[in-house]
Structure 1
Amino acid sequence: MRVLCCRIKQARRRPAIMTGLFMQNGVGSLKAALGLAMLIGAGLLLSGCDDSASGVARPGSLRPVKIAIAQSAAGLRTRTFPGVTEAARKSTLTFRVGGLVQRLPVKAGQKIRKGELIAGLDEIPYRNVVRDREAKYQLARARHDRQVVLFGKKLIAKSSLDEAEAALKEARAALDNARLDLKHTSLRAPYDGLIARVHLDNYQNVAANAPVVTMQGADKIDIVFSVPEQLLLRARRGQAAKTPFKIRFDTDTERVFIARYRKHDSIPDTATRSYRVVLEMPNPEDLLILPGMSVTVEADLSALEKDSGAPGVLVPVEAVFEQDGKTYVWRVDDGDVSHKATVIAAGIEGRHIRLTGGLEAGQRVIAAGVSQITENMRVRPLTKERGL
């Protein structure tokens, strides 16, 4: 067939010579000319046989495929999360006793030191109670002393002495409670902090255990953000406490602060299936940070994940397939020829699979229709036409 094709091509290159020869030989030669023309037409149909033999395929014969580039996962080891600030220490302070508020020297937003007065009640009713309890205690002690003397002289029974001792203890306890109530008419700061909210006004009657002020710690602040469950599953146990997190406030994006892991919830959010993580950082002295401010949390996942020693590459999920218990992808070389490559899958990240072996960043893989591909198949990248 190849010889025939070559002869037909030689005949096509000399049409004038062949026509002159047949004209000289007459009608019989004309029939031969028609037969040769048919052979030439057949040769035109078979002209591609020589091209295929030379290894050059026509563009229409190449299989169109969707091609993806393997991306290095190392650049994705750093993730950012939106977060908000919360008070690291927050307390709603109340009076243990009720009464009329006569002193309220604080206001919302005011810094306060440990032990400073926040609010005070009218002390007169409680001082009167203390005097009453002191008088009753003195009386009970005097009776007890007399009973001791009489019992020493064997003039009373032991039960009378026991009653006197019980009455003395009861009077003592009542006096201690009265003095304690008097002390609780003053509400003082339990630690250094900030008055976040004042819940009442001066000269207002307040009941016991009613909110007076909400106080927040001033030395530290919490950063709260949510982490997807896939990321939390890949985290190494105990590593979060050793990993620093970078914090940027939306009000000052140029500065970077360092926060440390504090705790995380063990129950996910029912709507987002994410877990609440709390970081802790010192409160900057030169920057006013209040609860509810927006921040950006930057986490280095290479220090958190279990398999951080081999970040690998990312390819689309559709590019990976299993066969005979092994995992493969179709790699496309520079000549647009497919080759089956054995890979090691380390996990799913969104719409991609992270591979830690068998493929390098920048290499091309077939990202769709992998079941229709065979070894050493000539392919061409599938491109979308404009308007589609």
Structure 2
Amino acid sequence: MRRISYILLLGILLSACQKNTKSEGTNLPVEVISPIKKTEIGRSREYTFLSRPYNETVLSFRINGPVLNFDLWPGQAFSKGSTILSIDNRDFLIRKQQTEALYSQTNQEYKRIEALYKKNNISGSNYEKAKADFLVAKSNYETAVNALSDTHLSAPYDGYIQNIHIEPFQDVKATEPILTFIELDRLKIETYIPEEVALHLYDKEKQKLCQVGIHFDTDPERTITPSDLYVSKSTTNNNLSYLLTAIIPNPDMEWLGGMSGILSIDLPKEERSQNLWLPLTAICHRPQKGDYVWVVKGDKVNSVPVKLGEQRNNQIEIVEGITENDLVVLTRQRFLSENSTVTIQK
């Protein structure tokens, strides 16, 4: 009898716990906030950057051989067309002289037979053989000349050695990386921007309505105006932002690659008038759904997709999706589902 009573009591307690749990799940206490509207007239959007060389090229030889005159250092300057490094050219010089002699001989023989052929004093087969020998000798000679020229590794533009990938007097292979060469007469300033900013910079005409300034950390008070701006036409690998590339002249080598700074963008006034901001904790994200927030209407909650903008500390800009009168849930979002009943905590 006692055992039956104990089982009945346990059943009553379990039933009560289930009832309380269900009640809490359907009437969840949450904290809410209304989006803050900020006036942004005259404000600059700022993005960090690292400068990069305008060109960066890995140079290699087109032939095999041991390298000579290996007196190179990172940072060493070379003008366009000047020789940076050479391969021992003795074998290539001999090959060029041999093919040149044969080319000269077959050229003279071909001209002699061609003159006889035009006078019908020699058969067509002899003429065709002389012509073929001449063309083969010419091709071999030109190949030898090119190979001799390829013993020199020349600078493709005015620039500097960045990295050296081989050892002194190493026997290198064709296409093996020899050194990295960079151009610093101009610099690339690269940073990532959200889509609402990209829409104002991807077109040359729209760029005229914006003001873009470059500020290096070593001289933050100085503003450099880029000569060209380019925006990627699709999002980068993170699928959230666009790559902005600004080109700045650097003829006097005032700046180096890898220097940090701030890129500021002043958007047209009508695009900066008023923005809504929320704490980062209010934003939810699911891969299949994207960014969204929970909005309370009456005593029910529903998820609302939002488009995000700039982030500042623990606040983030809401470009579209909600209004300033909406009540956005700040706490316990992971316990919510569509049309859940909630109680707003004061």
Normalising by structure 1, report the TM-score.
Answer: 0.59
Shift of 1:201: 2.5
Moved over 6 A (4+): 65-69
Q: Secondary structure at the match of 1:170?
A: helix
Deviation string 1:181-215 (CA, Å, 9 cap, x unpaired) is 11111111121111111111331111112122211
Aligned to 1:102: 68
Counterpart Cα distance in 2 of 1:348 and 1:227: 12
Shift of 1:348: 7.5
Aligned to 2:231: 264
Which structure shows the bigger proportion of residues in helix conformation? 1
Aligned to 2:122: 156
For the Cα contact (< 8 Å) 1:219–1:283, is it kept in 2?
Answer: yes
Counterpart Cα distance in 2 of 1:299 and 1:221: 18
Distance 1:67 1:164, change over 3 A: closer
State the percentage of identical aligned residues.
25
For the Cα contact (< 8 Å) 2:35–2:325, is it kept in 1?
Answer: yes
Q: Which of the pair has more CA radius of gyration?
A: 1
Aligned residue runs from structure 1 range 129-278, under 5 A: 129-152=95-118, 154-233=120-199, 237-239=203-205, 241-242=207-208, 243-271=210-238, 273-278=240-245
- Residue 92, structure 1, aligned to residue 92, structure 2: no
| Backbone CA RMSD of aligned residues | 3.3
- Residue 73, structure 1, aligned to residue 35, structure 2: no
Shift of 1:137: 1.2
Larger RCO, structures 1/2 (Cα 8 Å, 6+ apart):
2
Counterpart Cα distance in 2 of 1:127 and 1:148: 31
Aligned residue runs from structure 1 range 25-104, under 5 A: 70-76=37-43, 78-104=44-70
> Comparing 267-276 with 168-177, which one deviates more in the overlay?
267-276
> Comparing 167-176 with 118-127, which one deviates more in the overlay?
167-176
> Comparing 204-213 with 65-74, which one deviates more in the overlay?
65-74
For the Cα contact (< 8 Å) 1:68–1:367, is it kept in 2?
Answer: yes
Distance 1:125 1:244, change over 3 A: farther
2:274 pairs with one of 313, 331, 336:
313
Counterpart Cα distance in 2 of 1:123 and 1:236: 50
Task: State how many pairs are aligned.
Answer: 264
Aligned to 2:250: 283
1:118 pairs with one of 63, 84, 105:
84
Deviation string 1:118-143 (CA, Å, 9 cap, x unpaired) is 00111100011011101211331243
For structure 2, the 5+ residue unaligned runs are 1-31, 279-306, 310-315, 329-345
Distance 1:315 1:191, change over 3 A: closer
Counterpart Cα distance in 1 of 2:39 and 2:197: 18
For the Cα contact (< 8 Å) 1:240–1:261, is it kept in 2?
Answer: no
Distance 1:352 1:93, change over 3 A: closer
Counterpart Cα distance in 2 of 1:232 and 1:218: 27
Corresponding letter in the other structure for 1:148: E
Shift of 1:111: 1.9
